[in-house]
Amino acid sequence: MDTLITTLVDGVLVPLVNAITAPIPFLASSGILLLVFGALWVAFAAALVRDPTRLDAAWHRVRAMPIVVQALVWLLFLPLLAGVYLWRRTWPRVARLTLVGGLACWNLLMFLPRPA
């Protein structure tokens, strides 16, 4: 059984993860991830202003996905989904806006291109 698990992890999982994560350093260093997440946070803010129920609908869509797909979506879009999670809390609006805004700023700050 151990050899089967080792074969599956080394032969399937590791190459798959490497293929998925290989372009991330280039996307981060070139500023593409900054632009992508900046656009996503602008869409988040627009949804808050125009129709906050869209965030609820997005939350329910993600929660309805199969658990493996859900885990992948959470991994790729963790800051945004954490923002939606915080927004859905019953806390005062000012607290939620502060936390989501801080999360968005932190997220964008982390994707700022840095010199090598």
Q: How many domains does the chain divide into?
A: 2
Query: Number of H helices and number of E strands within the chain?
Result: 8, 0
Structure tokens at 74: 């959470």
Q: Give the chain's end-to-end CA distance (angstroms, integer).
A: 44
One domain for residues 82 and 101: yes
The DSSP letter of residue 52 is: T
CA distance 63 to 66: 8
One domain for residues 53 and 11: no
One domain for residues 66 and 86: yes
Indicate the residue type of 76.
L
One domain for residues 57 and 111: yes
One domain for residues 57 and 108: yes
Decide: 80 and 97 in contact? Cβ < 8 Å: no
pLDDT of residue 116: 63
Q: Kindly compute the dihedral angle of the four CA atoms of residues 88, 92, 94, 96, in this order, to the nearest 10 degrees.
A: -20
One domain for residues 36 and 24: no
One domain for residues 26 and 52: no
Region 90-106: mean pLDDT is: 96
41-55 pLDDT tens trace: 999 999 999 999 999
One domain for residues 25 and 35: no
One domain for residues 84 and 73: yes
- pTM, two decimals, is 0.81
Domain of residue 11, residue span: 1-30
